[in-house]
Amino acid sequence: MNPFIKANQQAWDDMTRVHINSPFYDVVGFKAGKSSLTPIELKGLRPVQDKDLLHLQCHFGLDTLSWARLGARVTGVDFSPEAISQANRIAGENNIPGRFIRSDVYKLPEALDETFDIVFTSYGALCWLPGLDAWAAIVRRYLRPGGIFYIAEFHPGVYQFDFNTKQIAYNYFNSGKPYEENEEGSYADPGADIKTKTYFWCHSLAEIASALLKEGLTMLEFREWDYSPYNCFPNMKERAPGEYVFGDFPASLPHVFEMKFRG
């Protein structure tokens, strides 16, 4: 296994053990019927009733299972054994039909030989992938003719910032080399007794869109949002219920983008 991916897998195993009990993910609320999905993707992707949906990089599956509650037949994929174990546990305890597969996204064809009406990915996924051409080929591989690929993701513009110093610290474009990050705590629980070493890559909007277009997908929609639906970075303020903005800059920043493609 690529040493960067191996380190990230270990970090996500460790973070899952923290996240599963964090107020940020609110598993208790989920078990009581609360959806983990945000208004952005709910409006952007619905309806999913009676659709076969593949969720790439699903973490421990709350979004995957939230789509199942809306009528989709879901398959979630993640490279973290701990995350997949927790996803299966939550699905079973709540009697929600869903299938979860432990796999590196790039190696998914070794574990899954099907196609889907919808391929979905969201928030904090792409930065863990070294290159997007191979990723886009995976997306295309799993889409049925006329199927939909949908992504809602943090904007690469806001990812340029060091969220602690509020200064631009990272490239907008992918240099091919990862950044190394050593952290204490987690975005879901900053005070957690956990230390992680992770590696991440920057991807521009052009790199993301071009990778998918080169696979022959047709872009249907592209939107940018000046807020995040999650309070998951330092120095964020809630400007309205469920809308968080970074820093105290006099001008607005792009926080999230969404793209929808047809296969």
Q: 175-227: per-residue pLDDT in tens? A: 999 999 999 999 999 999 999 999 999 999 999 999 999 999 999 999 999 99
Residue 201 has a pLDDT of 98
All structural domains of the chain:
3-262 (3.40.50.150)
Containing 261, the helix (H) or strand (E) segment is strand 256-262
Mean of all residue pLDDT scores within the chain: 97
Residue 197 has a pLDDT of 98
The model's pTM is 0.97
Instruction: Give the whole-number percent of the chain exceeding pLDDT 90.
Output: 97
| Distance separating alpha carbons of residues 38 and 215, to the nearest angstrom | 28
Instruction: Give the whole-number percent of the chain exceeding pLDDT 70.
Output: 100
Using the predicted structure, report yes or no on whether residue 1 has a pLDDT greater than 90. Answer: no
Residue that the structure tokens 């521009």 belong to = 204
Can you tell me the mean pLDDT for 15-44?
98
Residue 4 has a pLDDT of 97
Q: What is the DSSP string of 127-186?
A: GG-S-HHHHHHHHHHHEEEEEEEEEEEE-TTGGGEETTTTEE-S-SS--SSPEEEEEESB
Grade residue 101 by pLDDT with cuts at 50, 70 and 90. Answer: very high
Q: 245-259: per-residue pLDDT in tens? A: 999 898 999 999 999
Using the predicted structure, report yes or no on whether residue 240 has a pLDDT greater than 90. Answer: yes
Contacts of 113 (CB under 8 A, 6+ apart): none
